[in-house]
Chains A and B, each alone.
Chain A
Amino acid sequence: MNSFLSISPDNYGENIIETLGFGKTVAFGGMMVLIGMLTVFAVLVLIWGCLTLFRVLFHDVQSKKTVKVETEPVVAEPVEIVSQTDDEELIAVISAAVAAAESENDGLKFRVVSFRRL
């Protein structure tokens, strides 16, 4: 790579504030912050664009095709009374399980009708 902001590749391994001075170092560092952040944003925005296309191409189309299927109701059993902390943990676990089940079933609709403590 050729010199960048009058800093040649020879200087990349050196203390540039000593050899080139404060002003040039600030200009060089500031430009790197700008270029670096812009590159990271550009790449991730491109991926965002692709993922938005994914939604249109794969999710919305499949959702229209998917027949609504509901799981057989499971016989409900009485839930034990547990502490508030346990409840919060339980809700977190159940939310994660539902999200995982949703993502693994290719858009298949289902309804959770009961929870049973084992």
Chain B
Amino acid sequence: MLDTIKNFLSTTGISQLFSQSNWWQYLAMYVIIGALFYLAIVKKFEPLLLLPIAFGMLLANLPGANLIHLDFFFDTYYINVEDGKIIGTLSYEMTKFIDAVKTAFPDINIISLTDTGVKIDISALTSQQLEQFKIIFKENLGEYAKLTNNYAVQIKLSTIVREVINNGGLVDILYLGVKLGIYPSLIFLGVGAMTDFSPLIANPKSLLMGAGAQLGVFVAFFFALLLGFSPMEASSIGIIGGADGPTAILVTKTLAPHLLGAIAIAAYSYMALIPIIQPPFMRLLTTESERKIKMVNLRPVSKTEKVIFPIIVTMLVVFIVPDAAPLVGFLMLGNLFNVCGVTERLSKTAQNELCNIVTIFLGVSVGATANAENFLKLQTIFIIVLGLCAFIVSTCGGLITGKIMCKLTGGKINPLIGSAGVSAVPMAARVSQDEGRKADPSNFLLMHAMGPNVAGVIGSAVAAGVFLSFFR
């Protein structure tokens, strides 16, 4: 009887929590999760995303729940090296492959085991030997893995999906939507259906402010490199400055999936904090008289322009930056549903049910990646600081572009609308409106600020495409 009670007690979450050496990290995580709940529920900061993210984090940090197995999504789960031995679920296949290579090329040292994994060096092979090497790889590991252009072993997505379906739980399956890049595109479909590009079409000059406001993305990338992050990690950190959650998630899941939790939380938290972060810099970089500038009414936009716009933008962007296709393509498809006038049902579904369902899946699964071991690290603090710098520099980039345009147009453009170029629709545009009204209560900048605001969405998707095309 006593043994039964003891066994039961040892299976409880409390027992498992305090049996771990890092139990204090879990307690610290509960404090952070509590703060996120407070921001979402009481302060109403981006509650639609912060709430599921915070709950996902809670689920991931309850010992014994085992709702997500992040290992499944990393190559090291399948092939890894520990104390000079190959371990992981594909260790048998990898060993077989190494033996076959040694037999085929007894005099050449192609494969070595290092602390970071199995290292392949093909520099000593002739082109004919290289072809033979590839055949050996295909025969032994081809079903599960592939060779990258740099001859690194990369686990195939089909292997990961198989593992998740065979051994994973609900959150693992939901996380596949992030891993496969499905959710960010579907969210962009909904965003596109909800976005009115008329202010941008009516005042295309505002595109420049959307471009200027991407400065923070690249500046944060630069400083992340100097702080010791790899170019792939630095890209994921920099993209926080784009103030676009789905874009940040798409880049991070592709280039630095181990940072996903920290980057998603930083991106959404800063987006929610835009009304606090931006105004001091808006006032610092503009004069009272500039803030009082009233802009002339925008011209009306015809339906033909609205319908052709998403088609042309998709073609233009994807022709130049093909890697931006999953974001820009779906953003513009959603917008086309909305403006064409013949797909009202599709537009409503994209805006409401689909977007809401995907938001729940995305929030919970991204939150679940932030467990105590992954999240409570020095690099998370760097990410949060660099993310904030990216936001501030992006805001300043948009404002400076706005100021230049103000001078060039002889004072016809209020530079305050430049800060809306950081994306974060429509929060950043509202901040421009509020600051304009503080300077002159009869000044209404909302519609004008929507131009750079939606231009920022396109700009950040292009910036993401640049990183993906360089580092993927």
Q: Enumerate chain A interface residues (CB-CB to B < 8 A).
A: 1, 4, 7-18, 22, 25-26, 28-30, 32-33, 35-37, 39-48, 50-52, 54-55, 58-59, 62, 84, 88, 91-92, 95-96, 99-100, 102-108
Contact = CB atoms under 8 A, between A and B. Distances in A.
B211 A41 contact: yes
Contacts of B321: 39, 43
Contact of B299 (A25, A33, A59): A59
Contacts of B320: 39, 42-43, 46
Contacts of B218: 32-33, 36-37
Nearest to B227: A17
A18 B229 CA distance: 10
Contacts of B442: 88, 91
Query: For chain A, what secondary structure do more than half of its interface residues adopt (helix, strand, loop), or is it mixed?
Result: helix
Nearest to A30: B222
Given A40-B459, A47-B316, A25 B230 contact: no
Contacts of A107: 300, 302
Contacts of B431: none
A-B complex: 5 closest residue pairs judged by Cβ atoms = A51-B204, A102-B300, A29-B222, A33-B218, A44-B207
Contacts of A92: 433, 444, 446
B181 to A, nearest CB: 19
Contact of A59 (B215, B302, B463, B466): B302
B214 A40 contact: yes
A16 B208 contact: no
Contact of A15 (B215, B229, B447, B470): B229
A51 B201 contact: yes
Contact of A36 (B196, B198, B433, B463): B463
Interface stretch (B82-90, B306-314, B368-376): B306-314
Contact of A29 (B149, B221, B313, B437): B221
Interface in B55-87: none
A44 B211 contact: yes
Nearest to B401: A41
Contacts of A84: 441
A37 B202 CA distance: 24
Contacts of B299: 55, 59
A37 B215 contact: yes
A73 B444 CA distance: 26
23 contacts: A1-B470, A12-B471, A14-B230, A15-B229, A17-B226, A33-B218, A36-B214, A36-B466, A37-B211, A37-B218, A40-B459, A40-B462, A47-B316, A47-B317, A51-B201, A51-B204, A51-B309, A88-B437, A92-B433, A96-B446, A96-B447, A99-B447, A106-B304
A59 to B, nearest CB: 6
B301 interface: yes
A47 B313 contact: yes
A47 to B, nearest CB: 6
Contacts of B230: 11-16
Contacts of B302: 58-59, 62, 106-107
Contacts of B196: 100, 103
Contacts of B301: 59, 103
A25 B226 contact: yes
B282 to A, nearest CB: 19
